[in-house]
Amino acid sequence: MSDLNKGGWRPEMTEERRDEQGTFTGNRALMLDEALIFEIGDSETTGVDLADFPQVETRLGGMERDRRIGLPGLSEPEAVRHYTRLSRQNYAIDLGLFPLGSCTMKHNPRLNEKIARMKGFADVHPLQPVETVQGALGVINELAVWLIKLTGMHGVAMTPKAGAHGELCGILCIKAALEARGEDRKVILVPESAHGTNPATAAFAGYVTENIPATPDGRVDLEALKARLGPDIAAVMITNPNTCGLFERDMKAISDAVHAAGGYVYCDGANFNAIVGRVRPGDLGVDAMHINLHKTFSTPHGGGGPGSGPVVLSEALSPFGPIPYTERFGDGHITLVEEETAGDRHPHSIGRMTAFHGQMGMYTRALAYVMSHGADGLKQVAEDAVLNANYLLRSLEDVLDAPFGKSGPCMHEALFSDMGMAEGYSTLDIAKGLIDEGYHPMTVYFPLVVHGAMLVEPTETESKAALDEFIGALRSVAIRAKAGDEALKSAPHFAPRRRLDETLAARKPKLVWPQTELAEAAE
Amino acid sequence: MSDLNKGGWRPEMTEERRDEQGTFTGNRALMLDEALIFEIGDSETTGVDLADFPQVETRLGGMERDRRIGLPGLSEPEAVRHYTRLSRQNYAIDLGLFPLGSCTMKHNPRLNEKIARMKGFADVHPLQPVETVQGALGVINELAVWLIKLTGMHGVAMTPKAGAHGELCGILCIKAALEARGEDRKVILVPESAHGTNPATAAFAGYVTENIPATPDGRVDLEALKARLGPDIAAVMITNPNTCGLFERDMKAISDAVHAAGGYVYCDGANFNAIVGRVRPGDLGVDAMHINLHKTFSTPHGGGGPGSGPVVLSEALSPFGPIPYTERFGDGHITLVEEETAGDRHPHSIGRMTAFHGQMGMYTRALAYVMSHGADGLKQVAEDAVLNANYLLRSLEDVLDAPFGKSGPCMHEALFSDMGMAEGYSTLDIAKGLIDEGYHPMTVYFPLVVHGAMLVEPTETESKAALDEFIGALRSVAIRAKAGDEALKSAPHFAPRRRLDETLAARKPKLVWPQTELAEAAE
Amino acid sequence: MRYLPLTQSDRDTMLTQIGAQSIDDLFADVPEAARLTGPIRGLPSHATEMAVERHFSALARQNMAASHHPFFLGCGAYKHHVPASVDHLIQRGEFLTAYTPYQPEIAQGTLQMLFEFQTQVARLFGCDVANASMYDGSTACWEAISMAGRITKRSKAVLSSGLHPHYVSVCETMAHFTNDMLDVAKPDFAGADTQRLIDNIDEETSAVVVQYPDILGRIEDMSAIAAKAHEKGALLIAVVTEPVALGAIKSPGEMGADIVVGEGQSIGVGLQFGGPYVGLFACQKKFVRQMPGRLCGETVDAEGKRGFVLTLSTREQHIRREKATSNICTNSGLCALAFSIHMSLLGERGLCDLATLNHARAVQAAQRLNKVPGVRVVNDTFFNEFTLELSKEARPLVRELADRRILGGVSLGRLYPDVNALQNGLVVAVTEIVTDEDIETFADALEELLS
Amino acid sequence: MRYLPLTQSDRDTMLTQIGAQSIDDLFADVPEAARLTGPIRGLPSHATEMAVERHFSALARQNMAASHHPFFLGCGAYKHHVPASVDHLIQRGEFLTAYTPYQPEIAQGTLQMLFEFQTQVARLFGCDVANASMYDGSTACWEAISMAGRITKRSKAVLSSGLHPHYVSVCETMAHFTNDMLDVAKPDFAGADTQRLIDNIDEETSAVVVQYPDILGRIEDMSAIAAKAHEKGALLIAVVTEPVALGAIKSPGEMGADIVVGEGQSIGVGLQFGGPYVGLFACQKKFVRQMPGRLCGETVDAEGKRGFVLTLSTREQHIRREKATSNICTNSGLCALAFSIHMSLLGERGLCDLATLNHARAVQAAQRLNKVPGVRVVNDTFFNEFTLELSKEARPLVRELADRRILGGVSLGRLYPDVNALQNGLVVAVTEIVTDEDIETFADALEELLS
Ligand SMILES: Cc1ncc(COP(=O)(O)O)c(C=O)c1O
Ligand SMILES: Cc1ncc(COP(=O)(O)O)c(C=O)c1O
């Protein structure tokens, strides 16, 4: 006979706590809800064991912390579970086709992850003596050579941390070049279809922006552009292939005209995947172009970053590139040009764009990627990406309006508008309907030049079967939107959350968990 | 104007292919269906690039394969997606509490995964010269020392590949010991509550088994056992703590009686987690006990294996242990006793249990685990495991029948029966109801001695909050089973599949995908 | 402690709630004499993650890792390049930390993978069905003999001299206690013992067991053995320790094998100092109910959707207990997954190309090594592994090679310490990981050491 | 090619279906002159996974990895032990291969994590709010100055001489082109320039920027600076390059900082030769609408369930274009995740203990090194990093230490090649990874090299 629990204690939870769908926990089998760390953890719990510390006289100078911070801790089992459960509420390339136009959500090879984690790269300090990091510098240098050759440009600034940072770097180089010429031009021309970072970058660098007019077929209006060129125009920023999914046929003519007017040509290279290995921007007169290693070169997006945005530069702009950068000597030894040597070797540099050498972890991945494909494979990448997009375009244009469907083949993405949907139905409904079908929606409402834009980029890493399944799903949803299917207005139905109230979020911003609630939750 | 698709080709899939829940794909947002590799892949596709091969004159002796094998290939993106999507149809410890009684589904530390993958362990061949694998042998030897000390035994056979293999090894050692004494005893006594591997192992080793009677409170009936002992009894196989979740109070007396009758005591150590660091089986007179490293020592279950089942041995049995094994010299050098030296050093060995050195990949993990906890931490493991189980038992015994609830504290698992459920409701319904709540069910219908058994083992790696949530869910489901809630009979409702037809599977076994279907699918 | 979520205050609360004074109350059933009062003596106390990692790094550094050196070992464990995605995928928590799929509604991931694995193994071996894995090749081999005994109700197995000696040992360990008879022999450079096998099959024989390619790397046609076995009512059990070979040569099933077992380590799993590996087990349909181990089968759910379950469990210990076909429970699921992923990545084209590449490299190496004075290639036929007869004892030579940082094969002296005629034998495996440079380095070192 | 699923026959079918003769038809808009006919010359062709891996292994071996040697580098990048579970979790495909969470219904994993991250950063820095990350500490620093300019409508920032020189450089690059004024100075062993900062804050000043602890490792109270700044209508921007320090010392927010930025690399991310890192950015509530970067906020879904979305996007480039608060788009999400996981594992107790341990080790090291003839510890105060003044130029000495396989700190000559007074300075960081042995080895080597 047990002596335990003679008092007959029972937990106080016999009462029904079941939700509409009938579960106590709110879970739906493998779709698991997960509380916040502030609700699970407490400030005394830790998932990290530390060595005992020696007693010393502190040297903190009286600045010891005397208030609690409010950081909850989790044991390791709790932490692994928390983040694993959270992760399962995400869509990802690993789960299926991720047709976000302009984002090039291609497969992220696992070899690259393995290589990036080699201790010789991941466990090296940016300020170690250069003799102790020759292999790391070698990676940067090898990748630089690849990028220069793939783009047919003269130089490359490796350090920018993402596409927008690359844009900034390129625009600063242009500004420096103008300054070196003693000119102070104020305006950068940017088409309306451009990505938001283009005008934002120009403004961040102190420029005013003006629109470049477009032709009805979705390209830059060369004549109108020429008409606007003049001594106040520092540069044009053009995306090629552009965000309508089209190749700018007149790119070379545009470049020539801009150069003739004393300006520079910045090319947004976010869409490089369409042409890598098949067309070199250098052959089109481009002066600067950033490359999103996290797009064309397969480094993972990581739920928002990190990326990497090297900028290739023309001969005219190369002298202004940032420090530090690598230089390889004949004997294979690599040196780093930074403050000490820049004065002699690179006197016109704009300086540092970032503290250290840029995104080493992305360089390893990108270099592994280009080496794996080789020049031949990269050409195939562009071809398959473009083929997949054209196949999608032609498979959908009878049920979705393709405003530039007649403007020539699309490049690596296909653009649709919301024309023809039933009254009250919009691009958003199509997007949310796709979620229920098991897909991440395409890019929506971008570019701005098309009403209810839907920009679909399949990438080359999708099989024909995967495309066909997606086409079927999108056709089905599009037909429902045309027919005014009620259920679509309230989609998604099966996702971890129904449509979220974005207005509320913006009107009453709750950006952090309130301090007091930790104490309560921890009780 | 584009020249493309003048013929106006469209895919043939405009027709409605939507299922009851309204999707074309059959997916439910993040719950994604996934076809078989035989439906996705084809025999010409590959996700592996190989170097070109030199032309040579073959030496295959005319045995060249001339038929196709029928192996579908996937590109890397397809493969990553296939297995990622499949994985999401599984429950796992990383997702939540996994209360499978007798299975010790505790947290699997990620440090151990990292260590097991160090090249010095993962990339070493079992037949390398011993001088080149001193560190690997060191791991085996260090772990052996830990296991011996934790159990208070004399020796340990490391090579068995899992629990059942360890049982086999132990029973063979017993048989060898009897043989060495010139005895040929035929019977092994096994309680009805024992795990299926116990009688199966005895039979596999050529023994007949007989039942050991139990007392009403769920333990071995010492007097009845004593009555049955005699010259035909080779051994008793006892699980301690037993599968009813109870500590065998009379273990020492049982051992003494068995020894007095000339038999040996095999202890099933699957439940060692309840007592590790607190009780040493050696102190209870045990002659052989396997340890499931994949239970007590946290190596992952991997969806069914691999495991590792070292057997600790008493002084009486140690001379019969298998080869190979490690021996450490005073100078730290480690040697491997195998065929060549066994004749001198270990002449009574039963021989090899397996080709090589056992489960190296599990040794690294288990050793990392015991080192992390230390002797102090392991004691805490047992205490927390037992505390968690008792907390569960007492939190549930008013809504679920606990047949041995009065037999003393439970150890690391709590046993319930199906008594008291509404007519037509069974343990299975509770299990399936728990699935909808986001839990893996407990072990059901084992041990056989309790009707509709439910064996709940929370392990020590669950927080109180996690236990409370589980208790709430199980109480809710239990109450529904008592009340005869219709919805429970058809649970699970939210899992990737509803209840599966196991009878059909067994009646018309489809164990492989038919060859012909590959060809069709590939067309 | 980082793995223990209960706080001291949780513990106190819980003890109070269940009416216990202290944790000791919960161990009240442990006899006084067996209760330990403190942590077990002679063992260290807990350690930080960093300390543990450093301890293992130091141990790991004491081992010569295959990929850091010219590497030529085989004999039942082969080094192939495993794509990085394999290891990534098997580390998905949902695969890694799942249990055996006893609750199929939330284990379809594991189950579907097992169904795919079974099909891959069956096709590769030329059999109708395969199970969901065994521990490894050696234990699978005994299970096959044991199964043949159940089927034929006979207890004598004839083992080829080309069967891996460790596999033979494992069978001998078991046979000794089960009173089965094993007819064994040692290998001979002169040739395989096909004729001995054929001659020794009689009415008592349950099975004849042949490794293909054999321990010395030789490839023999098993058709005649199968014919004789079937004539006498015995089964042919084929053992494949290097499944990559089957991308280049006929499957055992084609030649009449009734049961085919093998070691799957070579595909997806890696060397791992011998384990965990994955036992492959396939047979013809009529024997399925005598198979050991788990089987996954296709079925439908309550809504008619295709799904998978573990099936035919009446063969297994948890249902049939002492009448089960085997005592196996935990098998090698995660290694089976690794095998299956790697095999899906390869596909038929990849596997065949990989086999061709292995063979071509091996032929090159054999030609080169054969030129070294004091070296003779024993094999007429081989796939990616062959035997050298040296002018010296091989075992010390292997150690000398290791001193030169070359892992130069497996000496037959290690495998057969008691067979004098084999002491100069060295078994050399050459896979796609071996470079031209490795071969040259090895040949040069051999030349020096043998002169 | 292993990453390309289309087969040649798929390609042909698709081209036919869309009515194209060949792939070239799809590139018809590319002007003739720019069309390449074959693969780009001068670049290698495709390579196997094994070949690529071997190439990188060879490169990796040319680098001295921190964990293989006594290691004392800091100055904006710190080596701490990161639990293995962090790297495991960030490799979950659902985190690794997701995009920015623009579709919140299927991105709650990333969004909830960001909300937790924002809260952790805000609390650590003593601020009301934090954003979802910036590229790194140095770019965050300029963003803070730029934000202060927007808030105060002024364009002169006073930078502490203790601000990391690379951060100063980044700000100078930008300020040069945006016509902002930066008041800068170089550090001095004599002490921090708190007084200079206070003196130089005037009515033109948008912000004063102070690193805490500073580049030489010194810890200064910023309260007086904050008071003066606020008096003059300027903001105090604090910069934290070693967030672990805040487990031991007061938060900048407590001392009156308006914006606190920092480098989060130290927690969860690792050294990575400088990137990717993670910029931390926090401020007081009233400035939230001037913040750069993404913000995640709590809301509810159509059924009233709590959920998270990206919010206040009208600050951002994709909505506001040229009027955005910054041009940042892709940020450092996955590093933020690593930071947040590591921080959750630490918790308050772990962080504070880690800080105490770091400080204790650093104090021990400083005491030991101070005893070496020719070495003087410059700092009165420090956390886990301090500056030595040597009797010799530090830069060549660091290289000599490397020759002895010791990574012995960052020479001030590397950071300030043009400041003579600093050439003998060596900044030494000591974290929990440093052992007693490492300290002895370092001290002994210093002793030899300085004698
Ligand atoms: C066309 C275009 N330009 C620029 C960018 C900015 O690149 P990043 O996000 O790397 O800063 C993007 C990325 O979203 C883009 O699609
Ligand atoms: C009580 C008991 N004994 C033995 C075993 C067999 O162990 P294994 O599965 O490792 O062969 C198990 C595991 O399921 C068990 O629970």
Parallel, antiparallel, or unpaired: how do β-strands C410-411 and C235-240 relate? Answer: unpaired
Write the secondary structure of B360-407 as one string of H (helix), E (strand) and C (coil): HHHHHHHHHHHHHHHHHHHHHHHHHHHHHHHHHHHHHCCCCECCCCCC
Beta-carbon pairs below 8 A across chains B and D: 61
CB atoms within 10 A of CB C371: 10
**Helices and strands in chain C, H and E counts:** 15, 13
Q: Which residues of chain B have pLDDT under 50?
A: 1, 517-523
In this predicted model, what pLDDT tens digit does every residue of A315-360 receive, in sequence order?
Answer: 999 999 999 999 999 999 999 999 888 888 899 999 999 999 999 9
- Residue C260 CA to residue C283 CA, distance in Å, equals 6
Q: Would the CB of B359 count as within 6 Å of ligand 2? A: no
Q: Which residues of chain D have pLDDT under 50?
A: none
Task: For residue A197, report the distance from its CA to the centre of ligand 1, in Å.
Answer: 7
Which bound ligand lies closest to the C-alpha atom of A170?
Answer: 1
Best of C92, C169, C241, C273 to disrupt the B interface by mutation (most B CBs within 10 Å)?
A: C273
Q: Does B459 touch chain C (CB under 8 A)?
A: no
Residue of chain D whose Cα is closest to the Cα of B41: D5
Q: Does B43 touch chain C (CB under 8 A)?
A: yes
Yes or no, beta carbons of C19 and A3 under 8 Å apart? yes
Q: Tell me the HSE value of A204 on the side-chain side, using a 13 A CA sphere.
A: 34
Which bound ligand lies closest to the C-alpha atom of B167?
Answer: 2
Q: Does A332 touch chain D (CB under 8 A)?
A: no
**Helices and strands in chain A, H and E counts:** 16, 12
List the one residue out of A422, A420, A414, A458 whose CA is nearest residue A440. Answer: A458
Residue D371 is predicted with a pLDDT of 97
Please say if the pLDDT value at position A6 is more than 90: no
Residue of chain D whose Cα is closest to the Cα of A280: D34
Q: Would the CB of B162 count as within 6 Å of ligand 2? A: yes
Find where tokens 């070496």 sit. Answer: D372
Q: Using CB atoms, which chains have 3+ pairs under 8 A with C?
A: A, B, D
Find where tokens 């196949």 sit. Answer: A391
pLDDT band, residue A500 (cuts 50/70/90) = very high
- Residue B276 CA to residue B295 CA, distance in Å, equals 12
Pair B358, B308: CB distance under 8 Å: yes
List the one residue out of B185, B191, B184 whose CA is nearest residue B210. Answer: B191
- Residue A129 CA to residue A114 CA, distance in Å, equals 25
Yes or no, beta carbons of B494 and A40 under 8 Å apart? no
DSSP code of residue C55: H
Please say if the pLDDT value at position A191 is more than 70: yes
Whether the CA torsion D227, D232, D233, D235 is positive or negative: it is negative
Residue A10 is predicted with a pLDDT of 73
Residue A521 is predicted with a pLDDT of 43
B148 DSSP β-pair partners: none
Yes or no, beta carbons of B9 and D7 under 8 Å apart? no
Token output for B327: 């021996």
**Helices and strands in chain D, H and E counts:** 15, 13
Token output for D14: 């698709």
CB atoms within 10 A of CB A182: 6
SS3 at position D255 = helix
Token output for B224: 């009845």
Token output for C28: 């009240």
DSSP code of residue D67: G
pLDDT band, residue A520 (cuts 50/70/90) = very low
Q: Would the CB of B392 count as within 6 Å of ligand 2? A: no
SS3 at position A365 = helix
Yes or no, beta carbons of C84 and A114 under 8 Å apart? yes
The mean pLDDT value for A490-512 works out to: 96
Pair D292, D281: CB distance under 8 Å: yes
* Neighbour-count burial of D418, counting CB atoms closer than 10 A to its CB (0-12 exposed, 13-18 middle, 19+ buried): exposed
**Mutational test site, ligand 1, from A100, A195, A298, max ligand atoms within 8 Å of CB:** A195
Q: Which atom of ligand 2 is nearest to the CA of B167?
A: 4
SS3 at position C172 = helix
Best of D49, D80, D434, D435 to disrupt the C interface by mutation (most C CBs within 10 Å)?
A: D49
Q: Using an 8 Å CB-CB cutoff, list chain C residues near A84.
A: 93
Nearest CA to ligand 2 atom 7: B163
Yes or no, beta carbons of D345 and A54 under 8 Å apart? no
Instruction: Kindly report the nearest CA distance between residue A439 and chain B, in angstroms.
Output: 7
In one letter, which amino acid is A462?
Answer: E
Please, what is the angle between helix D165-178 and helix A163-180, to 10°? 60
Query: In this prediction, what percent of chain A has a pLDDT beyond 70?
Result: 97
Yes or no, beta carbons of B46 and D83 under 8 Å apart? no
Q: Would the CB of B155 count as within 6 Å of ligand 2? A: no
Residue of chain C whose Cα is closest to the Cα of D84: C49
Q: Would the CB of A362 count as within 6 Å of ligand 1? A: no
Strands (E), C199-351: 205-211, 235-240, 259-263, 279-283, 296-300, 306-310
Q: Would the CB of A195 count as within 6 Å of ligand 1? A: yes
**451 residues of chain C, pLDDT tens digit each:** 999 999 999 999 999 999 999 999 999 999 999 999 899 999 999 999 999 999 999 999 999 999 999 999 999 999 999 999 999 999 999 999 999 999 999 999 999 999 999 999 999 999 999 999 999 999 999 999 999 999 999 999 999 999 999 999 999 999 999 999 999 999 999 999 999 999 999 999 999 999 999 999 999 999 999 999 999 999 999 999 999 999 999 999 999 999 999 999 999 999 999 999 999 999 999 999 999 999 999 999 999 999 999 999 888 888 888 888 999 999 999 999 999 999 999 999 999 999 999 999 999 999 999 999 999 999 999 999 999 999 999 999 999 999 999 999 999 999 999 999 999 999 999 999 999 999 999 999 999 999 9
Instruction: Kindly report the nearest CA distance between residue B509 and chain C, in angstroms.
Output: 6
Pair C359, C384: CB distance under 8 Å: yes
Please say if the pLDDT value at position A21 is more than 90: no
* Neighbour-count burial of D259, counting CB atoms closer than 10 A to its CB (0-12 exposed, 13-18 middle, 19+ buried): buried
Q: Would the CB of A151 count as within 6 Å of ligand 1? A: no
Read out DSSP for C118-154? HHHHHHHHT-SEE-S-BS-HHHHHHHHHHHHHHHHT-
Which bound ligand lies closest to the C-alpha atom of A100?
Answer: 1
Q: What Å distances lie between residue B367 and B168, B273, C60, C131, C400, CA to CA?
A: 23, 15, 13, 31, 32
In this predicted model, what pLDDT tens digit does every residue of A209-254 receive, in sequence order?
Answer: 999 999 999 999 999 999 999 999 999 999 999 999 999 999 999 9
Please say if the pLDDT value at position A176 is more than 50: yes
Which helix (H) or strand (E) segment holds residue C15: the answer is: helix C8-17
DSSP code of residue B55: P
Pair D1, A377: CB distance under 8 Å: yes
What lies within 8 Å, CB to CB, of D62 at 6+ separation is A120, A133, A134, A135, A136, A138
- For A430-458, letters b (16+ CB in 10 Å) and e give bbbbbbbbbbbbbbbbbbebbebbbbbbb
Smallest Cβ–Cβ distance between A498 and the set D77, D303, D320 belongs to D303
The ipTM is: 0.97
- Residue C117 CA to residue C206 CA, distance in Å, equals 28
